[in-house]
Amino acid sequence: MLTEQDKRYGKDIATGLVPLKLTGNDWQKVTLKLDDFKYGSGPDKGKKMPVNPGAVYIFRFYGPVTAQPSVFLVDDIAWETE
């Protein structure tokens, strides 16, 4: 989930989602492109969420609801807007 905020530690003004269709319980490498984020709700649900230069964003991972814990290893983040 990628959430745009009105300021640092402010309120959420837009949320984009990318559903991941992962299976198994082994490590998998995933690439998330900023162009793949779509609005998760509201009148623009399903439309591409624009990434605004200079805006404040929060990036979150949520795992599935299962008996096993979800573990995420984030080892390479590159923000590319062009």
pLDDT in tens, 21-38: 777 777 777 777 888 889
- Cα 8 to chain centroid distance, Å, stands at 17
3-state secondary structure of 53: coil
Q: What is the dihedral of CA 41, 64, 59, 5, to 10 degrees?
A: 30
Domain hosting 75: range is: 1-82
pTM, to two decimals: 0.63
**Strand residues in the chain grouped as ranges (E):** 2-5, 12-17, 38-39, 56-59
Q: In the predicted model, what is the mean pLDDT of residues 53-69?
A: 75
